[in-house]
Chains A and B, each alone.
Chain A
Amino acid sequence: MSNARKLADNLPSVGQLGNRNILINGDMSLSQRIGTTATAINGGNYGIDRWGMYYSGNIYTTQQVTDAPSGFYNSMKLLVTGTNTPQYSFFGQRIEGLNVNHIGLGTANCQSFTVSFYVKSSVAGIYSISTTNGAGDLAYPLQYTINSANTWERKTMTIPPITSGTWARDNTIGLYLRINLGSPSGRTDTSGAWSSGNFDGADGSTGAVTWATTSGATFYITGCQLEVGSQASPFEQEPFEANLRKCLRYYFNSKTSASLPYDYATQYISTHRFYKHWYNVPMRATPTVTTTDDGGAPSHYHPNEYHWKGYVAAAASASSARLTSFTADAEL
């Protein structure tokens, strides 16, 4: 094969050459919440930035690790810690409508889009993904096969256009990619067809079901990409700073402590002090802010997606009030 042919085969078939990857933190390089600690996370909450985890019945931990295929440094490792049958078991990324409007979901101009990732599992077999709308009443389940246990493999799957349904265009969930890890039959449906319902994956995902009930089973994933068109282009590597700023739209962690506090309250009237924080990038929505302090627990006051304010009842003669940590969560 000529070099020109190889180049042509690797070019995106549709859309722009840059900023192709609609997913954020697809290389699992940022883990603001849990660092590299294996952590049991469920209920749609987050470990590695932008990746929400769901299980019930069974349990698996989430961890950022450095076991990765060539061309990557990090992956997300999931480890099953029990043998119970799940009521649901998957993880995924909820994508803002603002970031998928160019796909044209639900319109006559809708385009195909392609999901690709690198995966390694201790259990070979049939697995699946699903892409759904935000309301969870339209889904496209799709099987894929892990051919060999404990071996990195790249998977690519193309989802055909959908010209009907309700698809958010704003800062709420415009598209939801789910990676099924053993959800039971009531939460899966026929592979390879758009269907009405809230499905985590495809029927017949026997490998995923076995994985979910095998204590000690592992599943690694990285290089996740979702792009317009019917061809998977090579993973779009970004500068770390670019990925970080995208993630900061959804979550910020000051990574400070009592010995290295985050902020000091300012005395603005005789009876009250005030904190004010401007976000590094405007957040997706007004975030839920959590703080710790050493003498000035703030009451939050008219926050928005650009900044946060908090006040503390304290006289000027009182000891200092400091925030020792600060997080802001505007995840979907």
Chain B
Amino acid sequence: MIVTSAQHQEFEGKDTNVVKATIDGVELQVPKDAANRHYAAILEWVAEGNTIAEAD
């Protein structure tokens, strides 16, 4: 899986436990569960030096 962007999400100032990410060209809302394969790919992307952007 190729991750090209990721951003934390908030609702009313609180984290929603979801990251909005673009993976293989598709925008997904990925839960922050290390056992989720999409979130695992995001964690690998972060380990490569990338950063999950703060929520808007």
Task: Assess the A285–B35 pair: CB atoms within 8 A.
Answer: yes
Task: Assess the B11–A301 pair: CB atoms within 8 A.
Answer: yes
Nearest B residue to A285 by beta-carbon distance? B35
Q: Give which listed residue, B9, B24, B36, contacts A287 with CB less than 8 A.
A: B36
Write out, one digit per residue, whether chain B residues 24-42 have a CB within 8 A of any chain A CB (1) or not (0): 1000111101011110000
A interface SS class: loop
Which residues of B are found within 8 Å of A332, using beta-carbon distances? 37
Task: Assess the A285–B11 pair: CB atoms within 8 A.
Answer: no
Q: How far is the CB of A199 from chain B (nearest CB, A)?
A: 21
Task: Assess the B29–A172 pair: CB atoms within 8 A.
Answer: no
Interface size on B, residues (CB 8 A): 16
Task: Assess the A43–B1 pair: CB atoms within 8 A.
Answer: yes
Task: Assess the A285–B36 pair: CB atoms within 8 A.
Answer: yes
Which residues of B are found within 8 Å of A285, using beta-carbon distances? 33, 35-36
Q: How far is the CB of A35 from chain B (nearest CB, A)?
A: 20
Which residues of A are found within 8 Å of B17, using beta-carbon distances? 301-303
How far, in angstroms, from A300 to B16 measured CA to CA in the complex? 7
How far, in angstroms, from A43 to B38 measured CA to CA in the complex? 12
Q: Give which listed residue, B1, B31, B35, contacts A284 with CB less than 8 A.
A: B35
Task: Assess the B38–A288 pair: CB atoms within 8 A.
Answer: yes
Which residues of A are found within 8 Å of B31, using beta-carbon distances? 286-288, 300, 303-304
Which residues of B are found within 8 Å of A170, using beta-carbon distances? 35
Which residues of B are found within 8 Å of A304, using beta-carbon distances? 31, 33
Nearest A residue to B35 by beta-carbon distance? A285
Task: Assess the B16–A301 pair: CB atoms within 8 A.
Answer: yes
Whether A300 touches B36, Cβ cut-off 8 Å, given contacts A43-B1, A43-B24, is no
Task: Assess the B29–A286 pair: CB atoms within 8 A.
Answer: no
Contact of A331 with B by CB under 8 A: yes
Contact of B18 with A by CB under 8 A: yes
Most chain A CB within a 10 A radius of its CB, from B1, B9, B16, B38: B16
How far, in angstroms, from A240 to B55 measured CA to CA in the complex? 44
What are 9 inter-chain pairs, A to B, with CB distance below 8 A? A170-B35, A287-B31, A300-B16, A300-B29, A303-B18, A303-B31, A304-B31, A305-B33, A311-B11
**Footprint of B on A, CB under 8 Å?**
43-44, 170-172, 284-290, 299-305, 311, 329-332
Other A-B pairs, 4, CB within 8 Å; known A285-B36, A299-B18: A286-B35, A290-B28, A300-B29, A301-B16
